[in-house]
Amino acid sequence: MESWPWPSGGAWLLVAARALLQLLRADLRLGRPLLAALTLLAALDWLCQRLLPPLAALAVLAATGWIVLSRLARRQRLPVATRAVLITGCDSGFGKATAKNLDALGFTVLATVLDLNSPGALELRACCSPRLKLLQMDLTKPADISRVLEFTKAHTASTGLWGLVNNAGQNILVGDAELSPVSTFRSCMEVNFFGTLEMTKGLLPLLRHSSGRIVTVSSPAGDMPFPCLAAYGTSKAAVALLMDTFSCELLPWGVKVSVIQPACFKTEAVKDMDQWEERKQQLLANLPRELLQAYGEDYIEHLNGQFLHCLSQALPDLSPVVDAITDALLAAQPRRRYYPGHGLGLMYFIHYYLPEGLRRRFLQSFFISPYVPRALRPGQPGLTSARDVAQDPGPKPGPSPTAQ
């Protein structure tokens, strides 16, 4: 019987030492998950010995074992005690589900809603404890934000504010960046970025005093150029970078900052198909004639249909996102990034490690498949090729679209 090469044995020694340490600290349990992980590592070892040089096999096996054991570890949680948390955007979706979960755990929850009489607000009032306080707030209105900040400071004077969950956000329109009005970009930035910035800055004195947590719900659309989500994705990219900056700057104060990047989940906003149809009709009605002729109404219809099909595949169970937010608030060492939902690991691997052409084709096939604008279809009047543009780079006669 062949003996294992020394690199493989060294990797197993490292994995065994890590597992033993976790078992002694009660971070790891003996059970089927651990047995399954060890079986997979043994299969990986068998493959590595036959396909890789000894040192490469050592690196792959040791790294995989370390990551697997880290995933299996039971993360140490802080006690809830009298901790208070403010959550924005609790009318529906992740905000409402998180407010219910944190209230059940014993948190003092301050939940902001757009409408105190909305179905979501009424549901929270009916099913949660008296500790939960509902606060009306529109992130585009400075007076609302100031009122919520003052209430929070007064209401947490004795307990302190442990956490802020920046959940409120909006996506207004599905369409190419050229088709999206500038006002759409401004609206998304106003809620998703500036509203989050103002809330975070306003509560930082309380969070610094408690060495608390900031948890912000962003989106993979802020990391990758999803077709037709330019306004939404740009605002989410901005807020993710802002949180990374806060994470570095607040480290000396003991404030930990986490960003949640969820997959597509079936929230109330996702399920409301009528709103997307209404927004599509508004886009068609207000689109400049030149753009409508260049792209074509069927192009916009295709985008909307593909987007609605993608939403129909959304995950119905919101608990992975709620669990990620809860872990970011209570874990002794929370992660900087959480990726709840299926398929995100593969998506990010493709985005970061594969060539640009493959990345683009993957996003198109995963989200919205390509569709040729009307002006680029063969036989259409006004078809302009790249060669034509290169031969005649000068301005064409006619009125300037900015002169209207």
* CATH code of 284's domain: 3.40.50.720
Stretch (H or E) spanning 247: helix 230-249
Instruction: Look up the domain containing 217 and give its range.
Output: 84-353
pLDDT of residue 25: 61
Residues 285, 174, single domain; the answer is yes
Task: Count the domains in the chain.
Answer: 2
Question: What pLDDT is stored for residue 385 in this prediction?
Answer: 43
Residues 25 and 119 in one domain: no
Confidence (pLDDT) at 8: 67
Same domain, 57 and 167: no
- Same-domain status, 19 and 156: no
Instruction: Tell me: do 195 and 271 sit in the same domain.
Output: yes
In eight-state DSSP terms, residue 232 is: H
- In the chain, the amino acid numbered 318 is L
Q: Give a yes or no: residue 209 inside a domain.
A: yes
Find, among 341, 116, 307, the residue nearest to 217 by Cα.
341
Give CA–CA dist 114/83, Å, rounded. Answer: 24
Contact status, residue 11 vs residue 58, Cβ threshold 8 Å = yes
Residue 91 near residue 138 (C-beta atoms within 8 A):
no
State whether 94 and 200 are in the same domain. Answer: yes
* CB-CB contact of 294 with 374 (8 Å): yes
Distances (CA, A) of 95 to 76, 133, 274, 289, 389: 24, 14, 22, 40, 49
Is residue 89 helix, strand or coil? Answer: coil
Query: With the CA atoms of 103, 106, 109 and 115 taken in that order, what torsion angle do they form, in degrees rounded to the nearest 10?
Result: 20
Tokens of 354: 């594969």
| Per-residue pLDDT at 67 | 80
Question: pLDDT digit of tens for each residue in the chain (404 aa)?
Answer: 444 444 567 777 877 887 777 676 656 667 777 788 788 888 888 887 787 887 877 788 788 877 877 776 656 778 888 899 999 999 999 999 999 999 999 999 999 999 999 999 999 999 999 999 999 999 999 999 999 999 999 999 988 999 999 999 999 888 999 999 999 999 999 999 999 999 999 999 999 999 999 999 999 999 999 888 999 999 999 999 999 999 999 999 999 999 999 999 988 877 778 888 899 999 999 999 999 999 999 999 998 898 888 888 888 999 999 999 999 999 988 999 999 998 888 888 888 888 888 888 887 777 777 788 998 888 776 544 443 433 444 444 333 333 33
CA 163 to CA 161: how far, in whole Å? 6
Domain boundary among 72, 92, 108: 72
What is the distance between the alpha carbons of residues 300 and 228, in angstroms, rounded to a whole number?
10
d(CA 272, CA 300): 19
Quick check: is 352 catalytic? no
Tell me: do 221 and 280 sit in the same domain: yes
Residue 307 located in a structural domain: yes
Is there a domain that residue 313 lies in? Answer: yes
Report the pLDDT value the prediction gives residue 13, as an integer from 0 to 100: 81
Q: Is 4 inside a domain boundary?
A: no
Choose the final residue of a domain: 307, 326, 353: 353
Contact 268, 256 (CB under 8 A): no
Query: Among 72, 95, 121, which residue terminates a domain?
Result: 72
On whether residue 268 sits in a domain, the answer given is yes
* Whether residue 175 sits in one domain with residue 208: yes
Residues 209 and 318 in one domain: yes
Tokens representing 224 are 């990758």
pLDDT of residue 390: 38
Radius of gyration (Cα) for the chain, nearest Å? 25
In a domain, 275, yes or no: yes
Helix (H), strand (E), coil (C) string for 281-310: HHHHHHCCHHHHHHHCHHHHHHHHHHHHHH
Domain membership of residue 364 (yes or no) is: no
The pLDDT of residue 345 is 84
Pair 27, 157 in one domain: no
Distance CA 95, CA 123 (A): 13
The answer to whether residues 317 and 222 belong to one domain is: yes
What is residue 194's DSSP assignment? I
Evaluate whether residue 235 is within a structural domain: yes
Residues 35 and 114 in one domain: no
